[in-house]
């Protein structure tokens, strides 16, 4: 049940106003934007107390939101982080200047040379690059599981990883980009416990919850350690900002925030305000987008030129994926992939005929976006790994928006005629 114990309120209610007191800003109903890089100290002693509280976690100012410099924290960030945590049902939250800034911060905070990590495949291209190209240059190793609902497969990835070094992170993007492949979060937590017993320290389970967002899937309630969301997508919701959020236990978030101070990848005051505004309506927007997505997915499933649709709402009854979906997700989302008969040529012909749907990467905005995965979002992923993740040359990812469903289907129908 998603009720926040301290407030007794549900996430939809917390999304509207939690974390902001109008009395702190002349009664303004909406939080102001504090466009400042630095903050005045009322006295020299106060300045010392604030620094002691921030860096040592002791002193008279601990627990008060006194600010020093906007890279360390600012009022808009405080409100946003409190609200993200409240919506996710977590103790604390941290916001970053993009989803990848949040992912990179987790890697750099929790991995040291020699450590290892496991992740699923397919996975967001940037995350694939982070763990398989960038992080190995710093001496860490990654192993991938291909079916995040198959205990033997995940266990084998964990063994491969542990043979190379202590397993510190279990990364689960679910549903995964772009095919909506599902990862069993209870299984990840169980494997983390077992690995913890063997290693003497438990790896952290990190979930990328971007594709369903905070209302359709609640990873913290499912027992994961850190919940990461690219706020650029559904939470921002209008394709006009980049931001990333992480929620979880206070001590984990505190170490991420402390590192963020040095890396300088915090979220700025203006974008923090934009995200706060968007968070108020994310549950309403995603409900409509998901209803549209179902209609579009059903149209595509029945179309003779379409070889398949990987939409969560179509998971077969009795399958392992369906069992996990029923246990873990509240809705099927509005981003999914479909595969045309044929390859790149057929896909490009269709894409170039679309009039309404926009050909662009990204997802979760108010407008419908479509892209050809192999040549765009997953261009940098080697073809055999793409294939293993279910991405063919005819695969297209669709992020269904808020337009009228009949207009969306009409646009797809006329474009498919060109194939
Ligand atoms: C977009 C995305 C990211 C990266 O977020 P940015 O805000 O673009 O940096 C990470 N994970 C998933 C699943 C995404 O869709």
Q: What is the pLDDT of residues 142-192, one digit of tens each?
A: 999 999 999 999 999 999 999 999 999 999 999 998 778 899 999 999 999
Ligand 1 pocket check for 232: Cβ under 6 Å: yes
Q: How much is the pLDDT for 1?
A: 52
- How many angstroms is it from 173 CA to the middle of ligand 1? 10
Non-local (6+) Cβ contacts of 317 within 8 A are none
Q: What is the pTM of this model?
A: 0.96
Helix (H) or strand (E) holding 280: none
CA 41–ligand 1 middle distance (angstroms): 37
The residue whose CA has the least distance to atom 7 of ligand 1 is 99
Report how far residue 181's alpha carbon sits from residue 188's, in angstroms, rounded to the nearest whole number.
Answer: 15
Environment class of 347 (CB within 10 Å of its CB; exposed 0-12, middle 13-18, buried 19+): buried
Predicted pLDDT of residue 122? 84
Among 230, 239, 376, 377, the mutation site with the greatest number of ligand 1 atoms within 8 A of its Cβ is 230
Residue 206 Cα to ligand 1 midpoint, Å, equals 14
pLDDT of residue 279: 98
Over the chain (419 residues), the average pLDDT of each successive run of 10 is 82 96 96 96 93 88 86 96 97 98 98 97 90 96 96 98 97 89 96 97 98 96 97 98 98 96 97 98 97 98 96 95 96 95 95 97 96 88 81 93 98 95
User: What's the gap in Å between 42 CA and the centre of ligand 1?
Assistant: 41
Q: Quote the pLDDT of residue 262.
A: 96
Q: Where are the domains of the chain?
A: 48-279, 282-416
**394 Cα distance to chain centroid:** 26
Nearest protein CA to atom 1 of ligand 1, as residue: 230
**CATH topology agreement for domains 48-279 and 282-416:** no
48-279: CATH number: 3.40.640.10
Architecture of domain 282-416: Alpha-Beta Complex (3.90)
């Amino acid at each position: 049940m998603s009720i926040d114990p301290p407030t007794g309120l549900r996430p939809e209610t917390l999304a509207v106003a939690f974390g902001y007191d109008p009395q702190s800003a002349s009664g303004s109903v909406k939080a102001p934007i504090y466009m400042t890089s630095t903050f005045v100290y009322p006295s020299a002693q106060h300045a010392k107390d604030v620094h002691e509280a921030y860096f040592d976690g002791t002193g008279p100012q601990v627990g008060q939101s006194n600010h020093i410099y906007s890279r360390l924290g600012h009022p808009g960030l405080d409100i946003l982080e409190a609200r993200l945590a409240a919506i996710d049902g977590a103790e604390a939250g941290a916001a970053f200047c993009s989803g990848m800034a949040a992912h990179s911060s987790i890697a750099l905070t929790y991995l040291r040379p020699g450590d290892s990590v496991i992740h699923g495949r397919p996975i967001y291209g940037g995350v694939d690059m982070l763990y398989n190209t960038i992080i190995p240059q710093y001496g860490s190793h990654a192993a991938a599981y291909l079916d995040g609902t198959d205990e033997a497969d995940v266990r084998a990835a964990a063994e491969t990883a542990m043979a190379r070094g202590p397993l510190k992170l279990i990364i689960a993007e679910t549903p995964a980009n772009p095919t909506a492949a599902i990862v069993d979060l209870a299984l990840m937590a169980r494997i983390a416990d077992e690995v913890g017993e063997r290693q003497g320290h438990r790896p952290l389970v990190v979930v990328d919850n971007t594709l369903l967002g905070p209302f359709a899937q609640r990873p913290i309630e499912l027992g994961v350690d850190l919940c990461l969301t690219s706020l650029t997508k559904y939470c921002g919701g209008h394709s006009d900002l980049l931001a990333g959020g992480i929620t979880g236990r206070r001590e984990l978030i505190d170490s991420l925030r402390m590192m963020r101070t040095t890396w300088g990848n915090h979220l700025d005051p203006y974008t923090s305000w934009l995200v706060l505004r968007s968070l108020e309506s994310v549950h309403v927007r995603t409900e409509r987008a998901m209803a549209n997505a179902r209609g579009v997915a059903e149209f595509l499933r029945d179309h003779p030129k379409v070889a398949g649709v990987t939409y969560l709402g179509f998971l077969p009854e009795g399958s392992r994926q369906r069992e996990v979906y029923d246990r873990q997700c509240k809705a099927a989302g509005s981003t999914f992939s479909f595969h045309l008969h044929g390859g790149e040529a057929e896909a490009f012909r269709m894409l170039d005929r679309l009039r309404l749907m926009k050909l662009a990467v990204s997802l979760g905005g108010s407008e419908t976006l479509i892209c050809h995965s192999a040549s765009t979002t997953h261009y940098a992923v080697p073809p055999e790994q793409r294939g293993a993740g279910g991405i063919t040359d005819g695969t297209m990812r669709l992020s269904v928006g808020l337009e009228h469903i009949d207009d969306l289907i009409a646009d797809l129908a006329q474009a498919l005629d060109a194939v």
